[in-house]
Amino acid sequence: MKSRPSYQSSIIKFYQRLDTCKKIISPTLNLQYDNRVKLLFSNPSSIKEFFLDENRVDKLKKEISKKSPLIRAILSKNKRPNFVIDLTGGFGFDTIQIACYGINVIYVEKNPVVFFIFNEFLSRIGVYDIKLATRIKTINMDSILFCDLVGTKFPYPDTVYIDPMFPENYKRKAKEKKYMQVLKTLIKLDDQKEEELFERAYSISNKKIIIKRPAKITPSVINARYPTYKIKARGHRFDVYVK
Ligand SMILES: C[S@@+](CC[C@H](N)C(=O)[O-])C[C@H]1O[C@@H](n2cnc3c(N)ncnc32)[C@H](O)[C@@H]1O
């Protein structure tokens, strides 16, 4: 019988993973851990702090209801999907909000540092809300490759969710949120392959694909497909493509 890894060996593993991440992490960003994940980043002259902790989860929970734009986009005729695959996980705020509504989510993120940070956050969520944490499964992989596993290693989802980075030249009214600034320091070199991702999402979803877009400018047509409907939110919208 396999024995469970000792507490000490899991701590060693944690520091090994942290070291690997630090080697590739942006020089403007530093991480600290206790019962929460603290991100320190310089931008460009001052140092800012950003926490992934219980307060953050409470805030996300308060925002979510049947009437919130994200949940309205997820539900089909008021019914919950069997589960959702979030192909662009990031710091997992959307994943968490969907899971807060009682829906299981597979979170997929290709960037290893972003993935690492979210997993640390999730393991802390598990301490105070185990039900919420167990609704989320995380995968560190390029989503385009992950989609090939759906149908064999993973069942087909009713709904696939995509939140690409907003275009660099997008002029927003409000200042960009701190977590987005941090995320950008980590993933700016990554390419998004948005059209390919959408096509793969379309092929694996039973019912619908949702794309989060900036409120204005960006056209909704993707690979010659038009959204079935759009749901407005503050500063962004959800384009829903029903199959
Ligand atoms: C705008 S962020 C998503 C934010 C997320 N919805 C949240 O609530 O925190 C986009 C994320 O998608 C990831 N991403 C982009 N293309 C991807 C791909 N092909 N496979 C997996 N992750 C991808 C990026 O690394 C980035 O972390």
- Give the CATH number, domain containing residue 185: 3.40.50.150
Instruction: Calculate how far, in angstroms, residue 173's C-alpha sits from the geometric centre of ligand 1.
Output: 23
Q: Is residue 117 part of a domain?
A: yes
Report which ligand 1 atom has the smallest distance to the Cα of 94: 8
pTM of the model: 0.90
Question: For strand 84-86 and strand 105-109, is the pairing parallel, antiparallel, or unpaired?
Answer: parallel
Q: Is residue 39 part of a domain?
A: no
Whether residue 111 has its Cβ less than 6 Å from ligand 1: yes
Q: Which amino acid is at 109?
A: E
Which has the closest alpha carbon to 69: 163, 142, 157? 163
Q: Is residue 24 part of a domain?
A: no
Q: Is residue 85 part of a domain?
A: yes
Tokens of 94: 């959307």
Ligand 1 atom 4: residue of nearest CA: 90
What pLDDT does 1 receive?
47
What pLDDT does 178 receive?
81
Place of tokens 């499964």: 137
Q: Where are the beta strands (DSSP E) in the chain?
A: 29-33, 37-42, 47-52, 84-86, 105-109, 136-140, 159-162, 208-214, 229-232, 236-242
Instruction: Calculate how far, in angstroms, residue 201's C-alpha sits from the geometric centre of ligand 1.
Output: 14
Q: Is residue 9 part of a domain?
A: no
- Alpha-carbon gap, residue 132 to 127, rounded angstroms: 10
pLDDT averaged per 10 residues, the chain (length 243): 59 68 68 81 75 94 96 96 97 97 97 89 93 97 97 97 83 75 74 88 97 83 90 93 95
Tokens of 194: 């948005």
Using an 8 Å Cβ cutoff, are 157 and 81 in contact?
yes
Q: Which amino acid is at 181?
A: Q
Using an 8 Å Cβ cutoff, are 44 and 33 in contact?
no
Ligand 1 atom 27: residue of nearest CA: 90
For the chain, the domain total comes to: 1
Instruction: Calculate how far, in angstroms, residue 2's C-alpha sits from the geometric centre of ligand 1.
Output: 35
- Alpha-carbon gap, residue 67 to 107, rounded angstroms: 23
Range of the domain at 203: 62-242
Q: What would the DSSP string read from start to end of 148-178?
A: TTBTTTBPPPSEEEE-PPPPTT---SSPPPH
Place of tokens 């507490």: 7
Q: Is residue 165 part of a domain?
A: yes
Whether residue 157 has its Cβ less than 6 Å from ligand 1: no
Instruction: Calculate how far, in angstroms, residue 83's C-alpha sits from the geometric centre of ligand 1.
Output: 19
Q: Is residue 55 part of a domain?
A: no
Buried b (16+ CB within 10 A) or exposed e, 196-218: ebbbbbbebbebbbbbbbeeeeb
Q: Is residue 17 part of a domain?
A: no
Q: Dihedral of the CA atoms 28, 33, 35, 41 (nearest 10)?
A: -10
- Alpha-carbon gap, residue 232 to 243, rounded angstroms: 21
